[in-house]
């Protein structure tokens, strides 16, 4: 009884505080043994299983919303949400939250908490209305769509006891909402809130081992869980293997084609499933003649009849690519093939290609386009005479003429051609198309800045430097804590040196010029040997750094 009397002033204060915020209090909150509370807006908290909980710190409160907060997407099939609902702010220095996700079929207003009151050394949380819902009232599914009831009350260290206001009201068990997601839970064939959480969180985790990401991809392909989140994972998007596994998931085929079409087409050992996706991407539209050329020369495609036939139908309109595909096909299987299901000898399928220019077929090997980088190409001429060619960038209006010198005594001569627009480049000679080449390769590298970084005249022995030293265990020499000697590789550019100095928040005080060693003044790590060693290790890990050496103070210290 003494505890009730002590807490009564706090209860009254809480009642005034609750009314000042929202004007909502629990029914009968004027009773001396009841505690006033304020309901929170939790419409965007989508917890999938019943439970009760008391939250006394902000970390648990934020984790709950990160796990179960509603996700907002600009498009329904976007792999990643644009945002996740955030929790209402609560001052956990003074308050705490009581949470209930009902388990029974009661009303949809979410008011599962009827009252909270003192009872000895516990807080008694009464759940459910004191009368059953009316027949005409809305009923919520106990597993889907039931809102979480959350109330804020004054902070109290006593244990909370959850009881039913009516005998027929089911009191949920203690919540397991904070159980961390796991691969095992995600691969469970059943349905649970933890499984849904695991698919929501783990599929976006790019730090997962590749083997775990592969297990998730295989499970998503088997419809064990939703695979959409995997398509937003950077490691999944960069992996041909994982995107191929996910090819049955909407948008996975589009990503595989858009991000990896050329890499797959070049790979002579590419998986037939990934090649099928790329060929299907050609069929779906878009001008990719350079990609078709790569595919018809891929040995995996040439050795696989379904792939080669499928590709042949895609490139029938391109005389050059079609001829290469037909030649590869005809060398292995009949060009004239009986259609399955027809009467013998009555229906045949004939593979054909449009007629190519004789001049183009004859001169293609002699004048050739080779993509160099970015929008730059090599135009090679293996003829003994100069070659006049014309070129254009598809769908850009850009084009021009070019004369490539004769090969001379070399196998070929070449000139470089750089276009303003990025796109498919078509090469013509005497009015005939002789080659189509894409510029899908990497951008041209930026030349490194080799400008030498100047260094001031050496002024090492400032009083503040001498006073700050560290003595390694078992050594007799003092080392400057703020001065170090850094040696960069000869290949390290001047811009990289300056970037490293800025990143370390250091200053060049002597040494150089680049690529000679520099002496840098760095932030003071403190007098402890471990901190100083950690500083040296961090500096050595910087790209472009060959080694880092400590500088010794001139005079040794005496042994004890």
252-264 pLDDT, tens digit per residue, is 998 998 888 888 9
Give the pLDDT score at 12: 36
Task: Give the pLDDT band of residue 381 (cuts 50, 70, 90).
Answer: confident
pLDDT tens-digit profile of 317-328? 665 566 666 666
Is the pLDDT at 518 greater than 80? The verdict is yes
Is the pLDDT at 154 greater than 70? The verdict is yes
Task: Give the pLDDT band of residue 1 (cuts 50, 70, 90).
Answer: very low
Q: How far are the Cα atoms of 342, 478, 508, 515, 550 from residue 456, in angstroms, in the given order?
A: 89, 25, 7, 15, 20
Quick one: average pLDDT of 183-210?
Answer: 91
pTM as predicted:
0.56
- Asked if residue 25 lies in contact with residue 36, where contact means CB atoms within 8 angstroms, the answer is yes
**What are the residue boundaries of the structural domains of the chain, listed by start?**
2-164, 358-437, 463-552
358-437 and 463-552: identical CATH topology: no
Considering only residues 438 and 305, tell me which one the structure prediction assigns the higher pLDDT: 305
At the topology level, CATH places domain 358-437 in Immunoglobulin-like (2.60.40)
Query: Minimum mean pLDDT among 99-113, 197-211, 502-516: which range?
Result: 99-113
Task: Give the pLDDT band of residue 282 (cuts 50, 70, 90).
Answer: confident
Closest to 334 measured CA to CA, from 320, 312, 350: 350
Tell me how far apart the alpha carbons of residues 434 and 404 are, in angstroms, rounded to a whole number. Answer: 15
- Asked if residue 326 lies in contact with residue 353, where contact means CB atoms within 8 angstroms, the answer is yes
Is the pLDDT at 10 greater than 50? The verdict is no
Considering only residues 401 and 360, tell me which one the structure prediction assigns the higher pLDDT: 401
Quick one: average pLDDT of 223-248?
Answer: 92
Give the pLDDT score at 462: 55
Tokens encoding 369: 């386009």
CATH superfamily of 463-552: Peptidase S8 propeptide/proteinase inhibitor I9 (3.30.70.80)
Give the pLDDT score at 496: 77
Considering only residues 285 and 420, tell me which one the structure prediction assigns the higher pLDDT: 420
- The beta-carbon contacts of 487-491 under 8 Å, at least 24 apart in sequence, are 487/517, 487/545, 487/546, 487/547, 487/548, 487/549, 488/514, 488/515, 488/517, 488/518, 488/544, 488/545, 488/546, 489/515, 489/544, 489/545, 489/546, 490/515, 491/544
Considering only residues 180 and 542, tell me which one the structure prediction assigns the higher pLDDT: 180
Tell me how far apart the alpha carbons of residues 348 and 336 are, in angstroms, rounded to a whole number. Answer: 7
Task: Give the pLDDT band of residue 330 (cuts 50, 70, 90).
Answer: low
pLDDT tens-digit profile of 470-483? 877 766 678 888 88
Is the pLDDT at 275 greater than 90? The verdict is yes
Give the pLDDT score at 449: 55
Give the pLDDT score at 183: 94
Average pLDDT, the chain: 77
Task: Give the pLDDT band of residue 11 (cuts 50, 70, 90).
Answer: very low
Share of the chain above pLDDT 90, in %: 28
pLDDT tens-digit profile of 244-253? 999 998 889 9
Is the pLDDT at 63 greater than 90? The verdict is yes
Give the pLDDT score at 14: 38
SS3 160: strand
At residue 455, φ and ψ (nearest 5 deg) are: -130, 140
Give the pLDDT score at 201: 93
Strands 149-154 and 479-488: unpaired
- Among 124-133, 380-389, 436-445, 482-491, the range with the most confident prediction by mean pLDDT is 380-389
Give the pLDDT score at 6: 32
Is the pLDDT at 297 greater than 50? The verdict is yes
Quick one: average pLDDT of 102-108?
Answer: 62
Closest to 435 measured CA to CA, from 476, 472, 394: 394
Give the pLDDT score at 110: 52
Give the pLDDT score at 317: 63
């Amino acid at each position: 009884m003494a505890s009730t009397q002590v807490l009564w002033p706090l209860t009254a204060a809480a009642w005034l505080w609750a009314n000042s915020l929202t004007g909502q209090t629990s029914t009968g909150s004027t009773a001396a043994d009841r505690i006033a509370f304020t309901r929170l807006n939790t419409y965007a908290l989508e917890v999938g299983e019943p439970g009760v909980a008391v939250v006394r710190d902000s970390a648990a409160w934020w984790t709950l919303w990160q796990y179960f907060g509603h996700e907002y997407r600009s498009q329904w099939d976007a792999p990643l949400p644009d945002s996740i609902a955030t929790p209402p702010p609560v001052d956990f220095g003074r308050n705490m939250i009581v949470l209930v996700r009902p388990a029974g079929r009661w009303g949809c207003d979410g008011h599962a908490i009827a009252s909270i009151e003192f009872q000895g050394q516990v807080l008694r949380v009464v759940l459910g209305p004191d009368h059953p819902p009316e027949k005409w009232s809305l009923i919520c599914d106990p597993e889907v769509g039931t809102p979480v009831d959350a109330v804020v009350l004054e902070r109290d260290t006593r244990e909370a006891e959850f009881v039913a206001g009516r005998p027929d009201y089911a009191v949920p068990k203690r919540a397991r909402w904070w159980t961390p997601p796991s691969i095992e839970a995600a691969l469970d064939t059943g349905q649970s809130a933890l499984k849904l959480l695991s698919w929501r969180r783990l599929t976006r985790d790019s730090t997962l081992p590749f083997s775990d990401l592969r297990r998730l991809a295989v499970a998503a392909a088997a419809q064990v869980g939703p695979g959409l989140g995997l398509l937003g994972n950077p490691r999944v998007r960069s992996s041909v293997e994982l995107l191929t596994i996910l090819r049955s998931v909407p948008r996975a085929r589009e990503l595989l084609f858009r991000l990896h079409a050329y890499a797959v087409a070049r790979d002579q050992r590419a998986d037939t499933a990934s090649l099928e996706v790329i060929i299907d991407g050609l069929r779906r539209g878009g001008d990719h003649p350079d990609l078709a050329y790569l595919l018809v020369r891929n040995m995996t495609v040439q050795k696989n009849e379904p792939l080669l036939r499928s590709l042949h139908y895609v490139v029938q309109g391109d005389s050059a690519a079609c001829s290469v595909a037909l030649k590869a096909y005809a060398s292995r299987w009949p060009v004239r093939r009986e259609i399955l299901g027809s009467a013998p000898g009555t229906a045949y399928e004939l593979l054909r290609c449009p007629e190519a220019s004789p001049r183009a077929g004859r001169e293609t090997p002699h004048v050739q386009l080779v993509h160099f980088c970015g929008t730059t190409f090599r135009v090679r001429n293996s003829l003994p005479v100069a070659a006049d060619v014309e070129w254009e960038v598809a769908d850009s209006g850009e084009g021009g003429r070019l004369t490539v010198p004769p090969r001379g005594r070399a196998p070929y001569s070449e000139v470089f051609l750089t276009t303003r627009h990025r796109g498919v480049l078509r090469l013509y000679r005497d009015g005939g198309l002789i080659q189509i080449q894409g510029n899908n390769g990497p951008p041209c590298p930026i030349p490194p800045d080799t400008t030498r970084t100047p260094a001031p005249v050496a002024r090492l022995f400032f009083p503040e430097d001498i006073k700050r030293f560290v003595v390694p265990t078992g050594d007799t020499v003092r080392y400057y804590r703020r001065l170090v000697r850094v040696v960069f590789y000869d290949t390290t550019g001047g811009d990289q040196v300056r970037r490293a100095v800025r990143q370390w928040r250091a200053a060049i005080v002597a040494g150089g010029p680049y690529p000679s060693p520099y002496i840098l003044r760095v932030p003071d790590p403190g007098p402890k040997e471990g901190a100083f060693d950690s500083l040296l290790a961090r500096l050595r890990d910087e790209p472009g750094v060959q080694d880092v050496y400590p500088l010794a103070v001139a005079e040794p210290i005496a042994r004890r």
